[in-house]
Amino acid sequence: MVEDILDKKKNGVMFSYEDIRSIVDGYVSGEVSDDDMREFVMYVYENELSFSEINYLTDVMIKSGEVIDLSSLGKVCVDKHSSGGIGDKITLIVSPIVASLGVCVPKMSGRGLGITGGTADKLESIPGFKINMSRKSFMKALDEASVCVISQSEKIAVADKKIYALRNEIGAVDSTALIASSIMSKKIASGADKIVIDLKVGNGAFMKDLKSASKLAKTMIEIGKYYDRKVVCVLSDMNVPLGYNIGNALEVKEAIDFFDGVYEKRLYFLVVYLSSIMVSLGKGICFRSAKKLVVDAIDSGLARHKFYEWIKYQGGKISKFKVDADSVKVLSDVSGYINSIDAQGIGKLVFDLGGGRVKKEDSIDYGVGVSLKKTVGEKVVKGEVLCEIFYNKKVRGMEKRALDAFVIGKKKRKEKSVVIKTIK
């Protein structure tokens, strides 16, 4: 069946909706084998699909599982998705900020694969936090607290889960058609009215270049229009780790620090920017007015209160939270200015320390990671601490790997904005 459908495509005939439905539904039911699905996925990965074909694929994946209806809440719901990056703890910070301003934030988050972390893993490093909740409990939390982050339901976009695992296995991850249909099938099935996508670009992200990222953004926006969903894509820089901490528990600690008024400037800028877009969409106000509300919520402690309310509501015990690992400091061997920090290099190190997984069922070490003590644009003196490595088992050459991630020059380079551009 799959070979016949692919032969049609190779002869210049577009995939029909029925073609894609028969392959995808057949794979979910077991009628289409892994080998046949690999052939289909690799064809999609290596060849362009039309927008109609991408939309067919998205629709079939949506209909392969349940679709959540949030209309009974009587609130405008704004979801935020990140394509994943090194040190990306944005959901932990943005969600309570936006919710504190009366905008409902429903969020289904996945676990990390490869070098990019997953929000579900970060939250599970908090003792007692319930990432798995029933739909009834999810709806109750949104009604009462206006924010809830749970793991992706096994009943939502069922086809996507099987296809994503296969994509990861064969290395067919960075494809516009496959990424767009994967992200949008889950977002639409999850029921939010409006969707803000933080699309990471750089060596620490799936999308390595601006051209590919822009194409993906425009594709997702068009899919959103088809389903009457407003989608805004923010392209943000991931050539440098985001914030100070990389690693599950370490990133939770950084979120706690953020609400205590301690934050890295690039992280703060992106948090305020994304929160302002979400509040603007949720309240139907201009970006400038939304930004003022966001900054006031952070400064007044309103957002901090919502953060602790949310964590407690989902069973998390911040008082028992700790980063459980040994550590070693890495010192600079030269003086100068930090011009860059290799996001991919730091991400691979954290992965090798046990902070990441190859397969979703793999276990991870929540406590390991890297905490930057100096970041881009800052001056460093020989012998100063550049970063601290948290480990429970030593990895050969880990101090050198961390040191090599820092690019230090005699002159200070002009810093680039963490927000590259916004596409609506």
Residues in Cβ contact with 35 at an 8 Å cutoff, skipping those fewer than 6 apart = none
Contact 80, 94 (CB under 8 A): yes
Residue 414 belongs to a domain: no
What are the DSSP calls for 152-186, one per residue? Answer: PPTTBSHHHHHHHHHHHHHT----HHHHHHHHHHH
Residue 293 belongs to a domain: yes
Instruction: Reduce the DSSP state of residue 108 to 3 states and report it.
Output: strand
Residues in Cβ contact with 361 at an 8 Å cutoff, skipping those fewer than 6 apart = none
Which of 266, 289, 319 is the last residue before a domain boundary?
A: 319
pTM of the full structure: 0.93
Same domain, 152 and 292: yes
CA gap 172, 37 in Å, rounded: 12
Same domain, 315 and 366: no
Residue 58 belongs to a domain: no
Q: Is the dihedral of CA 196, 220, 148, 260 positive or negative?
A: negative
Residue 359 belongs to a domain: yes
Range of the domain at 343: 323-409
Span 225-271, pLDDT tens digits: 999 999 999 999 999 999 999 999 999 999 999 999 999 999 999 99
Residue 113 has pLDDT above 90, yes or no: no
CA gap 389, 404 in Å, rounded: 14
Same domain, 211 and 357: no
Same domain, 196 and 333: no
Residue 418 belongs to a domain: no
pLDDT confidence bin for 196, thresholds 50/70/90? very high
SS (H, E, C) 387-398: EEEEECCCCCCH
Span 327-347, pLDDT tens digits: 999 999 999 999 999 999 999
Where is average pLDDT lowest: 45-59, 99-113, 175-189?
Answer: 99-113
Same domain, 161 and 236: yes
Q: What is the CATH number of the domain that holds 344?
A: 3.90.1170.30
Same domain, 255 and 140: yes
Same domain, 256 and 361: no
If one counts the domains in the chain, the total is: 3
Same domain, 245 and 187: yes
Mean pLDDT of the chain: 93
**Which of 343, 337, 338 minimizes the C-alpha distance to 239?**
343
Q: Is the dihedral of CA 413, 270, 258, 82 positive or negative?
A: negative
> CB neighbours (10 Å) of residue 414?
6
What are the DSSP calls for 316-343, one per residue? Answer: --GGG----SEEEEEE-SS-EEEEEE-H
Same domain, 296 and 336: no
Q: What is the CATH number of the domain that holds 270?
A: 3.40.1030.10
CA gap 291, 302 in Å, rounded: 15
b/e 125-154 (16+ beta carbons within 10 angstroms → b): bbeebbbebeeeebbebbeebbbbbbbbbe
Residue 59 belongs to a domain: no
Percentage with pLDDT > 70 across the chain: 99
Residue 420 belongs to a domain: no
CA gap 20, 53 in Å, rounded: 8
Q: Max Cα separation, the chain?
A: 65
CA gap 305, 40 in Å, rounded: 49
Same domain, 166 and 252: yes
pLDDT confidence bin for 360, thresholds 50/70/90? low
Instruction: Reduce the DSSP state of residue 368 to 3 states and report it.
Output: coil
Residue 60 belongs to a domain: no
Which strands make up the sheet holding 245-246, listed edge to edge?
Answer: 245-246, 369-372, 385-391, 326-331
**Residues with active-site annotation:** 81, 160, 167, 182, 186
Contact 172, 42 (CB under 8 A): yes
Where is average pLDDT lowest: 43-47, 92-96, 374-378?
Answer: 43-47
Which of 319, 343, 358 is the last residue before a domain boundary?
A: 319
Same domain, 264 and 312: yes
Same domain, 295 and 388: no
